[in-house]
Structures are given as C-alpha cells and as structure tokens.
Structure 1
Amino acid sequence: MADIRIVDVSLRDGNQSLWGAVGLNSAQIFQIAPVMERVGFCALDFSSSTHMGMAVRTDHEDPWERLRVTHQLMPNTPLQFIGTGLRFISWESQHPEFMQLAYDRLVANGIGRFVVLDPMHDEQAIMETARMFRQAGCKEIIGALVYTVSAVHDDAYYADLAGKMAASPNIDRVYIKDPSGLLTPHRARTLIPAIRARLAGKALELHSHCTIGLAPLTYMDAAELGVDVLQVACGPLANGSSLPSAERVIANLRELGHKVDIDDRALRQVCDYFTRLAKVEGRPAGKPQDYDASFLRHQVAGGVMSTTRRQLSELHLEHRFDEVMAEVTRVRAELGYPIMVTPFPQMVCTQALYNVIGDERYSNVADQLIRYALGRFGRPTTPIDPDVLDRILSRPRAAELMHEAEALPLKEMRKKFSPKLSDEEFILRATMPADQVDAMCKKGASKRHYNPEAAGLVKLLKALGERPRQSRVFIQQPGLTLDIRSAAKEAN
C-alpha cells in the first residue's frame, strides 16, 4: 500500500465551485491559516488571477496582501497558483514581459507552487509558461493534463502529452485535472497507467470534481494505480460541484491500507471552522451528487447550464432547452472539441443557442468565438470543421478582429500609469477598472481576525442599531447573556 499525500483546494477551487469565488475574505482565510498549516497538507490550492481579481472587485481587498500574510501564517505549506499562460485577471492576452513581471511578483509574495494549465493543451504555450514560472524562481511546477471525453482525447493523447511534460526540465510533476468530474473508475484503470508509463519517475496527482458523483470512487482506484497526491476540500466546501471531502477520502484510503500522514484533530478543526462560517454567512454546503450520464455527452457544468436556461426563459423558449443541449454536442465537435472549462463552455453554449433560435446555423457569431477561430486562445486539439471555419472567418467582423492591436510591451504599458506605483498595484491597474482598484486602496489593510459566532452577533447588533426606536435588546443563549438598553429611555 502506498503513502498518499493530500492537497487542499478549499480556499480557491472549493470557494469558486460552491461559493462563486466570493465566499471567503482575507480575515476569514487568515483566521484558519495557522490551523491548516498543522494539518499536514503538501500544498494549498490558493489562488489564480481570477481569484485575485475577485478579491479586489468583491471585497475591495488587496490580493497581494492576502498572499503575503497567508504565507507568513503558514510558511511550511506551499501556496499554489494556477496560471493559464499569457493572461492575467482579464481574458485579454498580455505581453510576455508583463506576464513575467506578474509571475516574479507572485513568487516574491509567497507563491511556491505553480500549475501550468492550457485549456487547449497548446504544447508551445505550456512549455513557455513553465519556463517563465521557473525564471520567476518557482520551486515546484505542475503540468496540467485537462481531462475531457471526446473522439480525440484518448489514453494515447494524454500519455503523449504527459511524456512531453516529463521531458521538460521546467515541469516537476504532472496532474490530471478533471474540472467536470468526468473521469470514471473504469477509464482511470487504463488512463493512469498509460500516463505513468511516460512520466520517467515524476509524480502524478489527481484533481477531480464531484459534479456527477464519480470522483470519490475514482480516487480510491487512483491510489491503487500509483497516483501520489489526491486533491480534496474541507467540510462544506467539498462535494457538490467541488472536490471530494478531505475527511471521507482520508478515512477511505486508510481503510484500504494506505498511509496518509495527516493530523486528524487539526483537520477536524478546519472542517468545523468552515461549517460554522457557512452557517453564519449563509453559504451553501456541498452535497454528494447523483450520477447523470447525460453530462458525459454535453459536459456543460451547472452554472453555465442554469445561465442557458435563464436565457431561454427570457426569450420564452424554455421548451427548446433539449435542442440547445443537443446542439452543444454538435458545435463542440465542429470547433475541434475544446475542453469545457472557462471560457469555452460559455462560447459553445452561446453558439448553440444562436444556432437553435436563429434562421441559419452560424448566422450569428460572438466576438469571442471569432477570436477562438483566429487562434487567440491557442490551437484546437483537432482542426475546426472547414465549412464552419469559413462561415466564421468570412464575416466582416472577423476582418476587424484580425487586426486588433497587440498587447503592449511592459515599458509602453507603464507609461499609462504613475511611475510611483508599486509593481503589484501596477499589475492590478493594468488589468482591472480603475474605480475597483481605487476602492481597494481606500479601504486599506485587511482585518486579521474573524470569529464565525462573533460575526453573526455583530451583524445582528448592526441591524438592530439601524432601528432607532428599539429601546432594549436582550439576548440569552448558552454561554452568553446580552442586555442592551437605550440610554435615553433609561433617563426618562
């Protein structure tokens, strides 16, 4: 039986999957970070450029400060950043010089582990991004094999890509990233050995979502097949569209005879903290999912599917939902089987909707799909259907987008901003609306402490304080008696 190590994804992917990436602010992270340090996770999936942008946009908090303080609170647990090549926060491509600066500052502020993820599996882009991570001083770089089901994504395809990653001096290990939870135990028994055979001894990790209930079972087979690291989430941030439960996965691994070096008491404290936080803040808890075979065909995750339903409802075309889902499968094949991870599900579903409600297929095409056809997101796994490609690129709008201005070199970008800006603030201002960054700067340093129970009481008192006629508040519960009376009333 093997020694299995654990990566926790609660702070980024769990938060993103279940709480829309807005469920945890800096104080809530700082409060639990020292306990997470004691658990024994080999790394934390901590951030991405999208999450950094959400910290600014939603909480008006400095994501660089969040990173620095968390690293100080847990210096022995590597913080992981997942990157998608030449973009940062916005989906617009950036100049390589700008991206190198961003990666340099991430390492300087505490990131010790990078994931190289290219949804198109563009080998050149993967290798170049890994080189930039290494140049920034990153200690551990992981190449992502983004899993999907299609006519071209067979075991040989992934094994070949894994072999190329293993040959790179800038990629230290590889992981199977299954963002839609499609990997079945049956497929794992052929896929994992095929990949491991090409890794030349480099370690293999597995990251699989619970979207259709398969991941907890697949993880057990993966451990038997030689996967070294499994990625999980804690308490209410597990299950649902997130990843498997840390407590349950660890218990099951041990039951099968594997060794998992985790401090169970500290893990329970982490899970309990998130449970109390979710209750007080009104956050939903992930629940085990039922198996849905149709998902293997259309691969549209719940968020995008609900958006599609809403769009049809607004058009009074709810009855055509099944047509749109069938068209999704057809469009995806015509576009070269893009893996259904942002931004590609949105592109495919939007085009399927246009095709179903329009007079003719591809009579209406969004700008993002034109950019996709122009190669702005990389090379498709298999060529786009020639007839479809011609329909897209023969449009006048395609000619306009073909001549879009290229990303400015770093020196030219800096001219747009004050020379007094720190590198960190410059990166945010170059990729985000000015008013959002202004609000972040105005707010100042983030709070360092958060108590779920106290947070609920503060909310209650604040609400009561907004009711001027309230003369007395009396609260009694186990361990707490609170009696507040209006001074004016007492004087009378």
Structure 2
Amino acid sequence: MNTHAVRFTDASLTDGQNAVWSGAMSTPMRLDVIRRLDGAGLTAIEVSSPALFTQCLARGENPWQFIEAAREQCPQTVFRTTINLMTGHGKHGTDILSTDVATHWLKEFAAHGVQQVIVMDPLIAIARLAPVLQAARRLELSAIAALPFVEDAIYSDAWYGEQARALVMAGAARVMLRDESGLLTPDRVATLIPALKAALGDTPLDLHTRCHTALGPMVVLEALRLGVDGIDTALPSLANGASLPSITNLVRALSLIDIATNGLDMSVVRSANAVADDIAEREGFPRAECWVFDLAPYAHQLPGELAADLMRSLPDTGRNRHLNAFAVECDRIRRDMGTPPMVEPFATPIAEQAHLHVAGMPRYAQLRPGIRRLVQGIYGSLPGVVNAELQCRVGTFEVCKPATMEALRENTPGATDLARLTAHVSGFNIKNLPHPLPPAQLRYQTLSPFETLARGLLERLPHYASLRVKGPDMEIVYQQLEG
C-alpha cells in the first residue's frame, strides 16, 4: 500500500471552466460552487489565474472581489493562485513582469487570503524566477515552481532533473510538473517521476496533467504509485477532455489499487458538482466530455483551452480533415521558433500562425505579432535554434526593461496600486479599467426556464423589430415601439 498522503487540489474554477465552458463562469457562479466545496478535505482550491483575471475584467467584474467573498465563506480552505512571469501582451514593457511588480502582485494575493502560489516562467529562467520565489516565501506564501512538460527529444529525464534541482536552489518549496497539453504517458512517467524524485530529495513533487489523449487518469494513477505528492483535479462537470482528471473517478480508482485518500469527504464533492451541473443546465454551458485517444496532440501540443477551442471549431468550419495538417504545422512553426514549450504566451501565436498556413497563406507571408516577438528574442534564450531566415527578416530587439511599480505610478497618476497592477498584469489600459475596480453581483440568480427564456429574448431584442415565442400555456411577445 502507498503510505504517503495524497494531496488533492481542485482547479475547477480556473483551468476546468476554461477548458469546458470557455471561461464563461462568472463570479456568482464560482461562489456558488466554492461554498459547497468548503469542507471537502481538499489540500487547496485554485481561485485565480492570469486567464481568470482577464476574463473577469472583460465581463466588467472585479476579480479580487471573488477572492474576498470566497475567503469570507470558506475561512478554513487553503487558496492557491498561479502567476506567469510572461504576459505576452505585446505592449512596451509588459511582456515580462519585473521582480518589483511580481512581488507587489504577490503581496496583494497574500493580503486577500491566498496561501499558495504557482510561479511560472515558461523558459525556466532562474534569474527571473529566483527573486520571485524568494519574495513569495518572505510573504509566507507556499512557493510552488512550475516545470512545464514538453514532448521533445531535447527535454530528457536528465534535463528535467537538472531543472528541478535548479528550482529548489532558487527557493521553491514544491515543484510542479505541469503538463498543460496532456502529453504524458504511463511509460514516460515511469522514468520521469523517479528522475525528478531523485533530483528533488525531500522537496515535494506535484503533478498537473490534462486529458487530451484520454490517458490523464492513467498517468495520475501511475504517478501516485511512484510517489508524486500532489495532484490537480476537477469536478466531474468540469473535467476530462482538455481539462483535468475527474476527482470522483480518481478516488474510485485509487481505492481499487489500495492508495489512501485520507480526509476527503466525497459527499461534499458530489454536492459541489451538482451545483456546477445545475449552472450548466441553466446557462446552456456544454457538458464535460471524454476525448478518445488521438496522436494529433503530440504534434500540436496545444494547452487546455486552446485545444478545446480547436476541437469545438473543427465541425463548425468543416476542417476535421485538416486536423493532422494543422498539428504538423504547429510542430514545424514551434521548431522554427526555437522549440519553446507550448504554453502561454507562446501557444496562441503559434496556433494562429498555423491556422494561416493551413488556410492557404504562403508560409510566413505574414507574421503574427507574438511570432515576431518570439523570433526577436524578447523573452530570452530559447532551448532550440531559431529559424535563421526569419531572424534575419525581423531582426533582433533590444529587450525592454520590464516596468517597475514606480514607472506604473508615474504613468497612471490618481489610480490605486491595486488598479495599476490589475491592469498591467491583465493587459488592460488603465484608462479603460473602471476606477475603483467594478463591484460584482455576488449572488448567482437561479432562474426558472421561463425567466431564462425571457432574459435571452431581451438580450436579442435590440436586433429585431419584434420577437414572439409561443408554447404550451405560454406566449411571450416583445415589440419595439417607435419613439
């Protein structure tokens, strides 16, 4: 029997809803779910991520208000967040977060009741990571360093072991093998996990994987058998496909192979999942689906939400037959870019460029802005060799110094530091960000089918002179009146 205690962290409200519901989960919806998850015995719940901040601001919500309200309702639950030191916004001084800005960002999370932080630098640049990891520890945040997984010959088990040791030396309290593209297999785990465990010594190792190839649950079970300490999971309604493995399925499977899951209250988990199910039913959100095994993800290596968007768009655009061509083109472009890991801010521009080529544009006739920045080297040294012809074409770029808090204050007089940070990290112009940050309606409205229909019609009414719906014992008529 495996004797170490398995740590389960729920990422339904961040990566799960990103992959399954395309990021449509509002603040009231998340609050309805998290209040039911409190008391489930989870090690932590992930309450924030860079993508979630952007989604909230785009909806006119205050992303901090959710964390504050969740903390009030779940006083004993450990909260986790993710920060990425590369933003990819493409604006002067904002592609990379300075240590100063990242430290202030961490201070805000600590002040809002977050206890764990995953710090990610996709290129694992220790000079950037070390001061931020150390700042997190000074703020008494549990500092988890992300180790992005890439399926490529240059990323060997020995290479990963070296990177893991470097992250611990840089100040990581834990290291997370982060497989956002769901590429791990049981065979690879069988050699990689022991190599990482040997490199880390007493430092705990966590695993974040997805289910693109349907192998995610099997990978998790093998990883736990080999001594991985922590696993990211999602509620069944927000699991599988491009999302994380379902916690209920994992717990059931672990009981069959005699691995203990001490402290989990699955009745609480089922209650939270029922709420998520109800939200999906009322809002018309898609149901979570398992994907069948396919080799295409090993070529395109798209992370969660990008892979989900791709699979949703294929039937609509009639491009099913182009999937393999698109996957191969993603791989070709990534190699031309110096073989970066397929995570943000690299994955989106590579996918956009591949779509252009597959649609018929001559290769690199136009360059997506993110591709241009990659070739120019503004993110730093890449693992592979950048295409010499492209590099000659776009030239090199003198890396802008990341903006400091002092520079942000000079450029945004009158704004609060919290508003400055939120806009800067999320890629919003501070002038377009409501000040103070907008309040959110914190209670999710559970509407009847009639009310849901009426609301939908009202949203469409401006586009029509009149709308009329008739059914059994019901008739709704909306008429635009002149003047």
Normalised by the length of structure 1, the TM-score is 0.83
- Determine the structure 1 residue equivalent to 2:433: 437
Instruction: For 2:440, give the aligned amino acid.
Output: S
Q: 1:464 to 1:415 in 2, by over 3 A?
A: closer
1:435 CA drift (Å): 6.5
Alpha carbons 2:119, 2:133 under 8 Å: kept: yes
Say which SS state the counterpart of residue 111 (structure 1) adopts. coil
| Aligned-partner Cα distance in 1 for 2:35–2:275 | 12
- Distance in 2 between residues matched to 1:62 and 1:47, nearest whole Å: 12
**1:222 positional shift:** 1.1
Equivalent position to 1:447, from 441, 445, 448: 441
Letter of the 1:126 partner, please give it: L
Give the equivalent residue in structure 2 for 1:68: 68
SS class of match (1:38): coil
Q: Which range moves more in the overlay, 103-112 or 424-433?
A: 424-433
Per-residue deviation, residues 73-100 of structure 1 (Å, max 9, x unmatched): 2122221111111549876334432332
Once the two structures are superposed, residues 200-244 of structure 1 have per-residue CA deviations (whole angstroms, 9 ceiling, x without a partner) of 211111111011101111111111100111111002101111011
Verify the 8 A CA contact 1:236 1:284 in the aligned structure 2. Answer: no
Return the alpha-carbon distance in structure 2 between the equivalents of residues 325 and 13 of structure 1. Answer: 22
CA distance in 1, matches of 2:265, 2:159: 38
- Paired with 2:141 and 2:305, the residues of 1 have a C-alpha distance of 35
Q: For 1:303 and 1:105, how far apart are their aligned partners in 2?
A: 27
- State the match for 2:27 in structure 1: 26
Aligned to 2:452: 459
Structure 1 pair 159–57 and aligned structure 2 pair: CA distance change class (3 A):
same
Give 1:292 deviation, angstroms: 0.4
The more displaced of 277-286 and 83-92 is 83-92
Tell me: CA distance 1:112–1:457, structure 2 relative to 1, closer, same or farther (3 Å).
farther
Equivalences for 1:179-198 in 2 at 5 Å?
Answer: 179-198=180-199
Q: 1:418-445: CA deviations, max 9, x gaps? A: 43x332223234441356522x858x53
**2:235 match:** 234
Deviations 1:273-307, CA, capped at 9 Å, x for gaps: 11111111111121111110232133245865766
Change (3 A) 1:50 1:470: closer
Question: What is the CA distance between 1:258 and its match in structure 2?
Answer: 1.4
Give 1:416's match in structure 2, choosing from 411, 414, 431.
411
Q: Return 323-332 or 170-179, whichever deviates more.
A: 323-332
Counterpart of 1:143 in structure 2 is 145
1:132-175 deviation per Cα after TM superposition (whole angstroms, max 9, x unaligned): 3234x14211111111110111111111111222234x211111
Pairwise CA distance, 1:394: 2.5
Instruction: Give the whole-Å Cα distance in 2 for the aligned partners of 1:309 and 1:173.
Output: 35
- Residue 458 of structure 1: CA displacement? 3.7
Q: 1 CA distance for matches of 2:157 and 2:470? A: 70
- The answer (yes or no) to whether the contact 1:112–1:140 under 8 Å persists in 2 is yes
Contact persistence 1:49–1:88 (CA under 8 A): no
Q: Distance in 1 between matches of 2:399 and 2:470?
A: 64
Count the aligned residue pairs.
459
Aligned to 1:340: 342
Change (3 A) 1:358 1:97: same
C-alpha root-mean-square deviation of aligned residues, in Å?
3.4
Partner Cα separation in structure 1 for residue 162 and residue 152 of structure 2: 16
Distance 1:470 1:373 in 2: 54
Q: What's the CA shift string for 1:325-358, capped at 9, x where partnerless? A: 4333233223332111223223333444566745
Please state whether the residue corresponding to 1:371 is helix, strand or coil.
helix
What is the CA–CA distance in structure 1 between the aligned matches of 2:65 and 2:6, rounded to whole Å?
Answer: 32
State the Cα deviation string for residues 98-142 of structure 1 (Å, max 9, x = none).
33222211211122111011222223222233123234x142111
Task: Between 283-292 and 326-335, report the one with greater CA deviation.
Answer: 326-335
The amino acid across from 1:214 in the alignment is: L
Structure 2 counterparts to residues 374-393 of structure 1, below 5 A? 374-382=376-384, 384-385=385-386, 388-389=387-388, 391-393=389-391
Which stretch has the larger CA shift, 207-216 or 405-414? 405-414
- The residue matched to 1:330 in structure 2 has which SS? helix
| Residues 13 and 242, structure 1, Cα contact 8 Å, conserved in 2 | yes
Is 2:33–2:273's contact at 8 Å kept on the other side of the alignment?
Answer: no
Q: Which runs of 5+ in 1 are unaligned?
A: 476-483, 485-492
Supply the distance in 2 between the matched residues of 1:286 and 1:470 (Cα, whole angstroms).
30
State the alpha-carbon separation in 2 of the partners of residues 469 and 301 from structure 1. 42
1:425 to 419, 422, 427: 419
Q: Does 1:132 align with 2:132?
A: no
User: 2:296 touches 2:327 (CA, 8 Å); kept in 1?
Assistant: no
Q: Which residue of 1 aligns with 2:179?
A: 178
CA contact (8 A) 2:238 2:288 kept: yes
Counterpart in 2 of 1:45? Answer: 46
Give the 3 Å change call, closer, same or farther, for CA 46–405 of structure 1 in structure 2.
same
Query: Residue deviations 1:19-59, cap 9 Å, x none?
Result: 1222x21112222323211101101122113311210112x
Corresponding residue SS for 2:9: strand
Residues 32, 275 of structure 2: 8 Å contact kept: no
Structure 2 unmatched runs, 5+: 477-483
Letter paired with 2:179: D
- Tell me the SS of whatever aligns to 2:288: coil
Alignment of 1:359-370 (within 5 A): 361-362=363-364, 364-370=366-372
Q: Does the 8 Å CA contact 2:9/2:45 hold for their aligned counterparts?
A: yes
8 Å contact kept, 2:44–2:79: yes
Quote the offset at 1:4 in angstroms.
1.4
Q: How does 1:254-403 map to 2 (within 5 A)?
A: 254-260=255-261, 261-300=263-302, 304=306, 322-352=324-354, 357=360, 361-362=363-364, 364-382=366-384, 384-385=385-386, 388-389=387-388, 391-395=389-393, 397-398=394-395, 402=397
CA distance in 2, matches of 1:289, 1:468: 39
Matched to 1:201, the amino acid is: D
Structure with bigger gyration radius = 1
C-alpha distance in 1 between matches for 2:280 and 2:193: 36
Aligned-residue offset at 1:474:
6.2
Structure 1 range deviating more: 402-411 or 7-16: 402-411
Residue in structure 2 matched with residue 479 of structure 1 by the alignment: none
- Distance change >3 Å, CA 263–CA 451, structure 1 → 2: farther
Contact preservation (8 Å) 1:309, 1:318: no
